[in-house]
Every structure is written in C-alpha cells, then in structure tokens.
Amino acid sequence: MQWRDVSQNWAAYIPRILTEWPDLDEDEVQSIDGDQDAFIAYLSKSKGEDRVAAQMALADWLMGGEPIDVSMAAQNDNANIMASAADVPAGEDVSDDDAKFGDDNVAAEPVGRAS
C-alpha cells in the first residue's frame, strides 16, 4: 500500500489501523484524517516510542494489503478491469460480454477429470 491510498480512503482504513494498534483512540485516529506526519506523531506518543520507531512500524504496516472496500471501490473499477487483462485469453477483449463467446451456460469441467 501507499500512504496516498490510505489518506484518500482514511475512513476505510481506520478499522485496520485499530486492529494493528488496538490501544489507539478511535476518535483521535479519525481526527488525523490521513495526515501522515500527524499519525506518526500520534503513534509515537501513544506507544512511547521515538518517531523513527513509529515510522518503521507504519512502514511495516503499509507492506500489507488493502481492505477489500478500498480495492473494490467504484473509483478503482477501471484500473481493476485493466489489471484483469493479464488473465484474459489472447483475442478476447477484457470489456467483452462472455455471452459473445458462447460459454455462459456451459458448466466448467472439474479440474483433473474429463466428462
């Protein structure tokens, strides 16, 4: 994750922040509203650590994944569709309706078994 994504979707990340640091006050976290410097200062103060330790803890946390309600948000639809192109067979457009290929009503073969 990038802090830019966290700050733009602050409300969606608050539950995840509170899961990582359960001793933080939810109202304080909400009031930070995505300001990275303010969050690091608050984290440092609440943990009794220096700023560098708080920055390292935040960097470790940012290595995790995004909450599903952020990655599935409407503003990310086009990027997710384009990213799915890697899984689409050659010759098929990622925006095409699967019905065009005639396999919508055909059950998939079980993996490792022939019908």
Torsional class of 102: left (φ above 0), alpha (ψ -120 to 50), beta (otherwise):
left
Note the pLDDT tens digit of each residue in 53-92: 999 999 988 887 766 566 566 666 777 767 777 776 777 6
- Return the CATH number at 54: 1.10.1470
d(CA 66, CA 80): 13
Number of folded domains in the chain? 1
Per-residue model confidence (pLDDT) at position 67 = 62
Domain hosting residue 58, numbered range: 3-69
65 located within any domain: yes
How confident is the model at residue 96, as a pLDDT? 66
Q: What is the CA radius of gyration of the chain?
A: 21
Alpha helices in 1-115 (DSSP H): 3-8, 10-20, 26-32, 36-47, 51-62, 68-71, 77-83
pLDDT band at 7 (very low <50, low <70, confident <90, very high): very high
Q: Classify residue 61: in a domain, yes or no.
A: yes
Residue 44 lies in a domain: yes
**Whole-model pTM above 0.85?**
no
Q: Cα(37)–Cα(40) distance, rounded to whole angstroms?
A: 5
